[in-house]
Amino acid sequence: MKDIRQLIIQTAVKEIQDGMYVNLGIGLPTLLANYLPEGIEVMLQSENGLLGIGPYPTEAEIDADLINAGKETVTATRGASYFDSAESFAMIRGGHIDLAILGGMEVSETGDLANWMIPGKMVKGMGGAMDLVNGAKKIVVVMEHVNKYGESKVKKACTLPLTGKGVVHRLITELAVFDFTDKGMVLVECVGEATIQEIREKTEAAFIVSPQLLNNVN
């Protein structure tokens, strides 16, 4: 059985295509920098002012001054550039980011996203998430399907403070890939060894199964 995070990352990396400008959110999404397929050129952007993030550094490569938005040390690719936060958010708000891959605490069946705070816990701010869900051309959320109590994080309605309403285009968990369409939330892929029945049992949200997936299963 593959590690849950590995299943999610290996599924999510398929969203990244050659030539894209991509923002990777704090936490789980940052791991994608180490899984990019060879032969494609992608510019990874961090809202603290770096365009051209590379893989995580080895011990010999660590530069304490070179960090991502999550304050983790990173490397920079050939052609990388550095700038201030104003320039960074101008890229985001101006619609120049092709894809944002963000972590999530909850996603609703209508594509609402909650990923910036839990009431009662200290939080320094929402970071760039609220700008990204409105400025990036496509929003993909990656998260574990259930919380530590076994409760579904894919909800009928989010219970945590929202980052954005109806902003998620695709949700990827260790069990499933969902798209959000005019017809509602659609299961388009079972991840790993997950079955449609297992996904239904672990999903609070209502969803339909894509005809293509049903054909493949049958």
Catalytic residue numbers?
47
DSSP string, the chain: ---HHHHHHHHHGGG--TT-EEEE-TTGGGGGGG-PPTT---EEEETTTEEEE-SPPPGGG--TT-B-TTS-B--EEEEEEE--HHHHHHHHHTT--SEEEEE-SEEETT--EE-S--TTS-----TTHHHHHHHSS-EEEE--SB-TTS-BSEESS--SPPSBSS--SEEE-SSEEEEEETTEEEEEEE-TT--HHHHHHT--S--EE-HHHHHHH-
Q: What b/e string do you get for 188-198 counting C-beta neighbours within 10 Å, with b at 16 or more?
A: ebbbeebeeee
Q: How far apart are CA 142 and CA 8, in angstroms?
A: 7
